[in-house]
Structure 1
Amino acid sequence: MSPSMKSGIRRRTVIGAAGAAAAAWSGARPAIAQEAFPRRPLTIVVPIPAGGGTDYAARLIAEPMGRLLGQPVVVENRPGGNDVVGLMHVARSQPDGYTLLMGYCGTMAGRAAIGGTGSVSTADDFVPIGQVSDTPQLFVVHPSVPATTLPEFIAYAKANPGKLSYASAGNGSMHHLGTELLKSRAGIDMLHVPYRGTGETISDLIAGRIQFYMNSPPPLVSLVRDGKVRALCVSSNDPHPGLPGIPPIAGEGLRDLPLNVWFALYAPRDVPAGLRAQLTEAMRASLAEPQIRQRAFEAGSLVNFQGPEEVAQRLRREIGGWREIAAAANIRAD
């Protein structure tokens, strides 16, 4: 055997021994591998097109969470199939903590209540990391509608049954279920027009092709300030602290409509508890930063962190509540 061949064998033997030793050390110290999380960028999947409240919630926490975790957090929009495309992508991803979901109550609770999430169970296939915000919806109309208050709008709708239209992000979305609840409580009739994303909806709202819309404040606040749409009220019993001058729905003759919009961060079901705890703590600390809370407040969103257990309980409770409302209004999945 030549000297070069002997040298190659020795080198492979040394490398093999070192690899075996490293593998043995890794197997003996599993906690160290977990403590190193994260080692690469994380992704928050938004199952809805860019520009809406879900997208806003994801981008609100992405930068501070990435800074606290020591790795970038990237927001990725994966719309399609009434949000099912994004849900399935996250549910089927590796449960390693690197792929997360920004969940919107209209998807997680509303669509789930009508069986509109395909083969994915929002309550069983994901585990909550924490709630980002909990905000009343803003009711707006096109300026051509001769109403400046909710009672005036209801009176106008009653005088023109079936002639007004309202927008939603599809069957089971919060816009859909919430407006159907409003219709039932107020005794009015409006045509439902589903859209694929907030951007398309707002374009048609500004153009006057739809007359009524309810959504979380961030996509609408600037339109109200610019006079492109008119705000009627917020959906809460109490005034919204960030929207002075816009009355609460309780002062407009209706009370206790369960229409608050919430967004929560989720992970695939089998992500280890230790990794989930790290993500929850990074999220909690991010939302405690004054500049993050102020940024949300200026957009009309109210930061309200809730831990995993509270989010899980709320989701199951709201799925049951919306299921009853959907049945009463004969709402089914698309």
Structure 2
Amino acid sequence: MMNDSMSRRSLLQAAGLGASTLLLPTAMAQAAWPSRAVRFVVPFAPGGTSEIVARSVAAELSKQLGQSVYVENKPGGAGTVAMQEVAKATPDGHTLILGHVGTLAVNPYMLKNQPYDVNRDFMPVTLLAKVPNVFVIHPDVPAKNFQEFVAYVKKNPGQLNYGSAGNASAGHLAMEYLKLVTGMFITHIPYRGTGPQLTDLLSGRTQASSAGLPALSAHIKSGKLRAIAVGTQQRISAMPEVPTVAEMGFKNFETSQWYGILAPAGTPADVVKRLQEESLKALKSSAVTARFATDNAVGGGGPSSEFASFITSEQKVWSDIVKRAGIHAD
């Protein structure tokens, strides 16, 4: 009897051990991410709002995950160079990309041949931030406000240039949208990032631009640039004296920069979920909330499905604007 009892106990213990052993690989797989440094690709040159958002969040994620989340700027081809590379990366959560209104909502309609499908080859993780677009001019332009600038450009069609971070950058889109509603003719000069285009704007080689507040704030405060309007529906607290384009007689005009995290299609659902949850935690950290408050950025952090729906809605808006404004790759 004792032998039978011991045998049964031994079998049960063995069975229990076997069950634990069978469950172990799954548990280990779920806990394995991240097993090494995470590469967070920004498809634009350093010095712009995209990098500021990415680095703010990446710094907090590095603390939370116990692995380095490092930002790598990879500009070129209106963001297509970086997007193509990440689309082909191993879908294990160790290579991510910063999604953007241009790369996700405009390029599919502006560029004839993209080597990837933004809706098929990427997995939306979470929206990180919406940042106000600000329209600025060089102080040498003989216009003190938005109305005077529009009037001056109309009197001098094609004589002024505006710079952007590149084709399909948020600044390019905002200015082309503004040209569409106002009837201005001002020439687009694309650069390889916000930093390079600001260098020429500050020196007076170009006369106007639109970019996110984080990249422009210090130059506006110093008087090196003049803010004439914001693209949001309401005025922003950082510059309450600067009017919106909508209140200048262009009802419903609205444009902002937005950024989110995407992973290659096929990335495990549990990795995507954890990354979304960790991103939300990062966005609620004191360091990020303080930075976003300074820049009037609105944090995101919602689930993957919510970000996917947002991208779809933005694609509907910008596909129409691209067609109406005749936006194309210069």
Q: What is the TM-score with the length of structure 2 in the denominator? A: 0.89
Aligned match for 2:240, one of 229, 244, 256 = 244
State the alpha-carbon separation in 1 of the partners of residues 22 and 230 from structure 2: 55
Most deviating of 120-129 and 317-326: 317-326
Aligned match for 2:204, one of 200, 208, 230 = 208
Equivalent pair of 1:149/1:252 in contact (CA under 8 Å): no
**Does 1:179 find its partner at 2:182?**
no
Aligned match for 1:233, one of 229, 233, 255 = 229
State the alpha-carbon separation in 2 of the partners of residues 132 and 182 from structure 1: 25
Q: Which residue of 2 aligns with 1:99?
A: 95
Aligned match for 2:290, one of 290, 294, 299 = 294
Cα distance, 1:278 vs. partner?
0.5
Q: Which residue of 2 aligns with 1:29?
A: 25
Deviations 1:153-212 (A, max 9, x none): 111111111111111233333222321221121121111111111121001101111111
Q: Which residue of 1 aligns with 2:254?
A: 258
Moved runs in structure 1, 4+ residues, more than 3 A? Answer: 24-28
Equivalent pair of 2:133/2:174 in contact (CA under 8 Å): no
Listed as ranges, the gaps of 5+ residues in structure 1 are 1-23
Aligned match for 1:122, one of 118, 123, 131 = 118
State the alpha-carbon separation in 2 of the partners of residues 136 and 273 from structure 1: 32
Q: Per the alignment, in what secondary structure is the counterpart of residue 124 of structure 2?
A: strand
Counterpart of 1:198 in structure 2: which amino acid?
T
Equivalent pair of 1:42/1:72 in contact (CA under 8 Å): yes
Q: Which residue of 2 aligns with 1:327?
A: 323
1:153-192 matches, cutoff 5 A: 153-192=149-188
Equivalent pair of 1:221/1:300 in contact (CA under 8 Å): no
State the alpha-carbon separation in 2 of the partners of residues 288 and 235 from structure 1: 25
Q: Per the alignment, in what secondary structure is the counterpart of residue 313 of structure 2?
A: helix
Q: Which residue of 2 aligns with 1:136?
A: 132
Q: Per the alignment, do residues 306 and 240 of structure 1 end up closer, same or farther by CA in structure 2, a change over 3 Å counting?
A: farther
Q: Per the alignment, in what secondary structure is the counterpart of residue 219 of structure 1?
A: helix
| Identity, % of aligned positions | 35
CA RMSD of aligned residues (A): 2.1
Equivalent pair of 1:216/1:301 in contact (CA under 8 Å): no
State the alpha-carbon separation in 2 of the partners of residues 171 and 265 from structure 1: 21
Listed as ranges, the gaps of 5+ residues in structure 2 are 1-19
Counterpart of 1:35 in structure 2: which amino acid?
A
Equivalent pair of 2:273/2:304 in contact (CA under 8 Å): no
Q: Per the alignment, in what secondary structure is the counterpart of residue 215 of structure 2?
A: coil
Most deviating of 198-207 and 112-121: 112-121
Q: What is the TM-score with the length of structure 1 in the denominator? A: 0.88
State the alpha-carbon separation in 2 of the partners of residues 183 and 310 from structure 1: 31
**Does 1:70 find its partner at 2:66?**
yes
Q: Per the alignment, do residues 39 and 28 of structure 1 end up closer, same or farther by CA in structure 2, a change over 3 Å counting?
A: closer
Q: Per the alignment, in what secondary structure is the counterpart of residue 140 of structure 1?
A: strand
State the alpha-carbon separation in 2 of the partners of residues 291 and 177 from structure 1: 30
Q: Per the alignment, in what secondary structure is the counterpart of residue 202 of structure 1?
A: helix
Q: Per the alignment, in what secondary structure is the counterpart of residue 218 of structure 1?
A: helix
State the alpha-carbon separation in 2 of the partners of residues 78 and 171 from structure 1: 15
State the alpha-carbon separation in 2 of the partners of residues 325 and 314 from structure 1: 17
State the alpha-carbon separation in 2 of the partners of residues 53 and 117 from structure 1: 27
State the alpha-carbon separation in 2 of the partners of residues 280 and 139 from structure 1: 32
Q: Which residue of 1 aligns with 2:47?
A: 51
Equivalent pair of 1:83/1:117 in contact (CA under 8 Å): no
State the alpha-carbon separation in 2 of the partners of residues 94 and 143 from structure 1: 48
State the alpha-carbon separation in 1 of the partners of residues 110 and 316 from structure 2: 10
Equivalent pair of 2:150/2:184 in contact (CA under 8 Å): yes
State the alpha-carbon separation in 2 of the partners of residues 190 and 224 from structure 1: 22
Equivalent pair of 1:236/1:256 in contact (CA under 8 Å): no
Q: Per the alignment, do residues 174 and 37 of structure 1 end up closer, same or farther by CA in structure 2, a change over 3 Å counting?
A: same
Cα distance, 1:35 vs. partner?
1.8
Cα distance, 1:259 vs. partner?
0.9
